[in-house]
Amino acid sequence: MTVFTHHFDPTVLREYDIRGIIGETLRPEDAFAIGRCFGSLVARAGGSKVAVGYDGRLSSPDLEPQLVAGLRACGLQVLRVGLVATPMLYFAAYQLGTDGAVMVTGSHNPPNYNGFKMMLGKKPFFGAQIQEIGRMAAEGDVVPVATEGSDEKVDILEDYVARVLRDYDGGDRKLKVVWDPGNGSGSEVTKALAGKLPGEHTVINGDVDGTFPNHHPDPTVAKNLEQLIAEVAKQGADLGIAFDGDADRIGVVDNEGHILFGDQLLVVLARDVLKSKPGGTIIADVKASQVLFDEVAKAGGNPLMWKTGHSLIKAKMAETGSPLAGEMSGHIFFADKWYGFDDAPYSAVRLLGIVARLSTSLAAVRAALPQVINTPELRFNCEETRKFEVVKEVKERLAAAGARVQDVDGVRVLTEDGWWLLRASNTQAVLVARCEASSEAGLERLKAQLSEQIQASGLAVPDFSGANAGH
């Protein structure tokens, strides 16, 4: 009997997923090992069935069969849903009653990356659980199997589209909408939804292409939305919607071509959800604008600031019974009528329902929000072994100085001018910073305070000049 052991490149086992560079840090044999170890966890928990999907990257068709082989080697039944958006795989886990799910996806990373997102039972699989995969592989700690499992192909598209459309509540008003799935794995479902929703719909970059020939599939970067903004203007559309590479993150452009950032979008969605869920807990990550938390409270909700990271947000939603959550990165989570996972196509359809019911334009709603000035997310290199220590040092100095600090995730410092944030990334050797103020002068003071703390910990101050944006 062959004894199974495997060693992963240490850089691929991340906080929220497994991710690496194809041919360098991630190979098909890694996919088999993931299937063998994750499958063992499913089997030991009494499970027998796992759903598997993959995105449109060039390397995904090589990784998926190896992943399936690893799961089958655990005696499991594998339901292969094919090339899908990540939320469609999550949906399949509920629809098909599986005991786990694995998505082969590089998300919004460059074309030469790929990786794996998992759920065990109906819960996110992250943090220490991902590290456990590495330990199991190294030690060969997997279930012995006398009978190999099986696999079969299942088409989930029709069921998913029908279920998403069930929650469209915009009536018969015919919106004009431009969609940009960015040549990612959400392309087919985008075209399917666009073909069934009322109104006039245009889909750009709607063919799956793992080289991403038109732009990088990350809707949080303004440059990647330029094509969508131009098309919205050309069509005179009511709004534009963009997805990332695996369609679990959304970007939105209003009818005037302005980007709605993740926290602004969450305000629009939260106001609507709170009409039927008064007093509901609305969760956002620490990078979100104070405007969001204030507007949620104004709309009768209970705003909750939480740690950045889609897995962490999902876990907190389940704990608090939150009907809606979101991140600056464009992950939007509906547990109101939906399943609580991040789903960009579903969030888009809910947004369209809201816009169709508005007596004004989406641009007018955005413009009516309190105006603040903030920096985008500022990321700068810091050694993996040092990043959490720096945040700890800053926190201690701030405590000694009597500063007002929220320490849910890193340090978010409140002053009369506004706030600044410093946190360690869970996925890269970087520190992340952000500042927000009500005036340009206030923002400069916040940036100076942040710079002072960074210097005090012996790091070079990044160039924050020009990093201001109205919001």
User: Could you give the 3-state DSSP secondary structure of residue 427?
Assistant: coil
Element (H, E) at 6: none
Contact 243, 85 (CB under 8 A): yes
Q: What contacts 92, CB < 8 A, 6 or more positions away?
A: 51, 53, 79, 81, 84, 98, 101, 154, 156, 160
Which position among 40, 60, 107, 329 bears the catalytic label?
A: 107
Dihedral angle, C-alpha 178, 180, 185, 186, nearest 10 °: -30
Is residue 107 among the annotated active site residues? yes
Structure tokens at 117: 């997102």
CA distance 193 to 96: 21
Burial level of 77, CB count in 10 A (0-12/13-18/19+)?
A: middle
Which ranges of 216-288 would DSSP assign to H, the alpha helix?
226-235, 262-276
Dihedral angle, C-alpha 317, 318, 319, 325, nearest 10 °: 0
CA distance 422 to 14: 20
215: which DSSP letter?
S
Residue 266: phi, psi to the nearest 5?
A: -65, -35
Q: Supply the residues annotated as catalytic.
A: 107
